Amino acid sequence: MTSIPFVQPGMAARDVSDTFTSAEIFNSAIPHPVTEDFPVAAHVALPAFSVVGLAASGLSLALATFAYASGRMASGRLVFSGAGTADDTITIGTTVYTLKAAPTTVAGQVKIGATAAETASNLIAAINGGAGAGTAYGSQTVPHPDVAAQSDAAGIVGIVAKQAGSAGNAIATTETGSATAFANVTLVGTTAPVLDTNVAQRVAIYRAGNFNPDALNWDASFDTDAKREAAFRGAPSPTNILIRKRL
């Protein structure tokens, strides 16, 4: 389910009245609001009362009934001030990474590079299970189960929890050695999701109702009243959505 742009003129229904305020969502009980559940793919965010396209089922447009948004993932940052020293450790959650001049097959070993940026790059590869197994990091290392890593700048490793929610703030981030420093002892900054958008969900969508267009969340392409009036044109039965604007 994604927002889709305006593509053709026309309208499903149009009525004008001065009997309601512009802040109202529903202008009338006729037609009676009707909802139906539709699947939404993982990692899709919808503000409440979004005008959305039901592309997967070949329909026209409908309205999301409520906010559907992922939470913010907890994150942290590890700064390398130097290339590091053998046996320095970086701990993320319960996983320990150990700097080595020459990694072996041992899980968690990370090659010390010629520069801080190179060591940081090797650590990112180890955390993500990226290229370099057996050379940049120990060949038995597996991707971290709870976080992903990225380069925030040369010598700076950004750590991001894979799931939103309070559990991310409990992921420990500690280090030993003088060449590395985490900003905090755990990841920070998570917010809970409105719904768990890490997995596919079913969301209630309005298929009927009398709505004030000024109170809806439209795709940016619906930038005129004429386009909003036309938005639901051609929607198949049982869609019965009226767009009714105050004079």
> Would 7 be classed as within a structural domain?
no
Same domain, 60 and 142: no
Residue that finishes a domain, picked among 182, 212, 227: 182
> Residue 42: pLDDT band by 50, 70, 90 thresholds?
low
| Residue of higher predicted confidence among 82 and 244 | 82
> Would 131 be classed as within a structural domain?
yes
Same domain, 91 and 165: yes
Q: Which of 13, 40, 50 lies closest to 219, judged by CA?
A: 50
> Would 190 be classed as within a structural domain?
no
CB neighbourhood size of 9 (10 A): 10
**Phi, psi at 200, each rounded to 5°:** -65, 145
Same domain, 102 and 172: yes
**pLDDT tens per residue, range 10-26:** 233 334 444 444 345 55
Q: Kindly tell me the burial class for residue 152, based on how many C-beta atoms sit within 10 Å of its own C-beta (0-12, 13-18, 19 or more).
A: middle
Same domain, 99 and 173: yes
| Residue of higher predicted confidence among 240 and 8 | 240
CATH number of the structural domain spanning residue 225: 2.40.300.10
> Would 129 be classed as within a structural domain?
yes
**pLDDT tens per residue, range 123-155:** 999 999 999 999 999 999 999 999 999 999 999
Same domain, 30 and 47: yes
> Would 189 be classed as within a structural domain?
no
Same domain, 221 and 156: no
> Would 207 be classed as within a structural domain?
yes
Residue located via tokens 């927002």: 3
Non-local (6+) Cβ contacts of 221 within 8 A are 5, 6, 227
> Would 1 be classed as within a structural domain?
no
Same domain, 102 and 160: yes
Same domain, 156 and 122: yes
Non-local (6+) Cβ contacts of 153 within 8 A are none
Q: Strand order of the sheet with strand 95-100?
A: 109-111, 95-100, 89-92, 173-175
- Whether the model clears a pTM of 0.75, i.e. scores above it, the answer is no
> Would 234 be classed as within a structural domain?
yes
DSSP symbols for 16-63? EESSS-TT-SEEESSSPPEEEEEEE-TT--B-TTBEEE-GGGT--EEE
> Residue 224: pLDDT band by 50, 70, 90 thresholds?
confident
CB neighbourhood size of 86 (10 A): 11
The structural domain count of the chain equals 2
Tell me if 156 sits within 8 A of 118, measured CB to CB.
Answer: no
Same domain, 66 and 81: no
- What is the domain range of residue 134? 75-182
Q: Which of 170, 198, 177 lies closest to 40, judged by CA?
A: 198
Same domain, 231 and 162: no
Same domain, 80 and 66: no
Q: Are strands 147-153 and 75-80 parallel, antiparallel or unpaired?
A: unpaired
Same domain, 103 and 162: yes
